[in-house]
Structure 1
């Protein structure tokens, strides 16, 4: 297990697009992703995100990509988007050799803090591939609850990867964010 140093958080800018794509890809796809525990390599081939997708969320209103760096090295990221009084959490990636070090917990906590304090959001929502029981359990240990509300995987859209199985779907997970007052 790696020791976590305190990361420096900042919002991503357009110049970060390629580094974000490389980080997300390394955490989820291909052999490099197998160094960590968040790999989707057994479920999906192909890309996880592309530069156009990252640029799109960077330019969107009520959207932020948060980066975590240690000693100037980008090691983790996530995307959050305000959707009414809730924020949506996604594009979460931690550099595979740093997974299991506690860095992911810090990034998730920073995303929750940002949503609560900057946007006054009352809840965080995310969609997780329900075949990823280990990942869902990780989120449950951090206060997220499974809702039983499912949405289909975008089969046929290579922007989201090339499925290796035909039973993939997303489940909505939700966490209330305490401390927001009316």
Structure 2
């Protein structure tokens, strides 16, 4: 059987098969077209040695599995992002709820920040101070400390996370007084 005849006889059934698993008409069509294109490019499939129908449905099955696996990963990533957003929202809500309108003096706030910075691991603290208080670029810090820029970036992420947690009760004030700091 030649490719054209095979295509006419099996395309709609193959697409229906794919549609049962991927649910979206457009995706089923894309998968089916990809498989038929692959089969067309492998003309050897039509020399009578291979069961084309078995090959067709196996290829569609595998493409559907790949598609569903990718969708599951995307869904998991989206769910993780949503959880992080929800956590951030919860922290902001809790912070505002516990926000004391009896303003802390700027000096007291600076002391609180200094104490929070002092809780950082030594190397992390050193990198944070060079970046945020001395205004140095990550590349400058990396050269000065003989470390990679990636290490500087990672240490800054750690510093921000720890400081955010340490200063969570003061976030509204920090944003108000030191917006360039965070």
- State the TM-score bracket (shorter-chain normalisation): under 0.3
More helix by share: 2
Q: Which has the higher contact order (CA 8 A, sep 6+)?
A: 1
